[in-house]
Structure 1
Amino acid sequence: MNTKESHYLRELIRILVRNLGILEKSEATCCGTTVAQCHAIVEIGRAAEISLNELAELLSLDKSTMSRTINNLVQSDLVVRELHPEDRRYVTIKLTEEGLKVFKSIESSMEQYYKSIFSSIPEEKREQVLESLQLLIDAAKEDKCC
C-alpha cells in the first residue's frame, strides 16, 4: 500500500469513527451515562457477569480507568460489584435491574440505528461491506501501532 492509499484509509476511518461517535454521544448516553459507561454497560449486559479485569481488557482500558468507570456506575445504581469470597482481588460486575433497563434501551436504539444504516447500503454491496469491516478489524488487531 502506498502512502496515498494509507492516508485515504486513515481519513475514511477517522470520518467513520467521528460520525458514529456523534451517534454514541447523542443516542447512547441515555439515563445520564457517559460514552465510556455506555460501553461498559453494554459489555456487562452481554456477558451477564464479568470480572473487572476482563472488562478492562475487552474495552482496552487500564484497570484503574475501568475501576473509576465502574465506581460511577455503582454510585448510579446501575451495576453491582461483588468480591470473590476466596480472592478479594477478583471482582465480578453485574447489572442491577435499573442497569438492565438502561442496557436494553441502549441495545434497542443501537439496533434501530444500525438497521437504518445497513438498509441504506445497496443490497448487493452489504455482504462486501461486512467482509471488508471484518478484514479491517482483523488487520487492526494484528498491527497495534501506538
Structure 2
Amino acid sequence: MKKQGSSYLRELIRILVRDLGILEKSDTSCCGVTISQCHAIVEIGRSEEISLNELAKTLNLDKSTMSRTINNLVKSGLVIREMHPEDRRYVTIKLTDGGMDTFKNIESRMKEYYKNIFQSIPDNKREQVLESLKLLTEAVNKNKCC
C-alpha cells in the first residue's frame, strides 16, 4: 500500500483504534467497567458533578445512550443522580465513593499507560506527534462522518 494520502490515514487510524482497544465490547475492558462507562466515569470525576445532557454532549453520544450508560453505573453503585432542588427536570450526576475509587484507579492506570507510550516515542519526535494529533483531532471535529 502506498504510504500517503487519505487512504493511508484511514488505515493508520483503524490500526490505532484496534490497538487502543476502542472496539473492545467486553464488560471488563477498562478497570472492571465497559469502555463507555470508563469514559463517563472519567468525565464525571473530572467535573465532580455534571448533567446528563452535558455529559452526553462531552462524550458525543445521544441522550438515550448516555442515560442507559448512567443507569448501569447507578445499578453498579458507582454514580448517583441528584435532582436540582428548584428544577426537578435538571439532574446532576456524581460519583459515589466507590465511583471515586474507580475513577482514581482509571486515572492512575491511564497515566502510566500513556506515559509508557509517550516514552516509546523517540525524544526528538514527541512534540511532532503531539502537534500532529492535535491537528488530526481538530480536522476530525470539523468533518463528522455518517
Fold shared, TM-score > 0.5 on shorter chain: yes
Q: Aligned pair 1:122/2:113, yes or no?
A: no
Question: Secondary structure of 1:30's match?
Answer: coil
Work out the CA distance in 2 between the residues paired with 1:76 and 1:67: 14
Q: d(CA) in 2 for partners of 1:28 and 1:114?
A: 16
CA distance in 2, matches of 1:46, 1:140: 24
Q: CA deviation at 1:29?
A: 2.3
**Residues 141 and 42 (structure 1), Cα distance of their counterparts in 2 relative to 1, 3 Å cut:** same
CA deviation digits over 1:30-60, x for unaligned, max 9? 23x1111111001100111111000001111
SS at match of 1:85: coil
My pick for the range that moved more, 66-75 or 83-92, is 83-92
Distance 1:22 1:58 in 2: 17
Change in Cα spacing, 1:56 to 1:46, as seen in structure 2 (3 Å) is same
Question: For structure 2, which runs of at least 5 residues remain unmatched after alignment?
Answer: none
The structure that is helix-richer by fraction is 1
Structure 1 position 16 matched with structure 2 position 20: no
Pairwise CA distance, 1:64:
0.8
CA gap of 1:53–1:26, structure 2 versus 1, over 3 A, is closer
TM-score by length of 2: 0.90
* Letter matched to residue 29 of structure 1: C
Among all aligned residue pairs of Structure 1 and Structure 2, give the percentage whose two residues are the same amino acid: 70
Q: CA deviation at 1:84?
A: 1.3
Distance in 2 between residues matched to 1:69 and 1:50, nearest whole Å: 14
Gaps (5+ residues) in structure 1? none
* Aligned residue in 1 for 2:113: 113
Number of residue pairs the alignment of both structures matches: 142
Change (3 A) 1:23 1:116: farther
User: 2:138, 2:35 → 1: CA distance?
Assistant: 24
Which secondary structure does the structure 2 equivalent of 1:93 belong to? strand
- The RMSD of aligned alpha carbons is 1.9
Q: Is the 8 Å Cα contact of residues 50 and 94 (structure 1) preserved in structure 2?
A: yes
Match of 2:91 in 1: 91
Cα pair distance change 1:28/1:104, threshold 3 Å: farther
Please list every run of at least 4 consecutive aligned residues from structure 1 whose deviation after the TM superposition is greater than 4 angstroms.
22-28
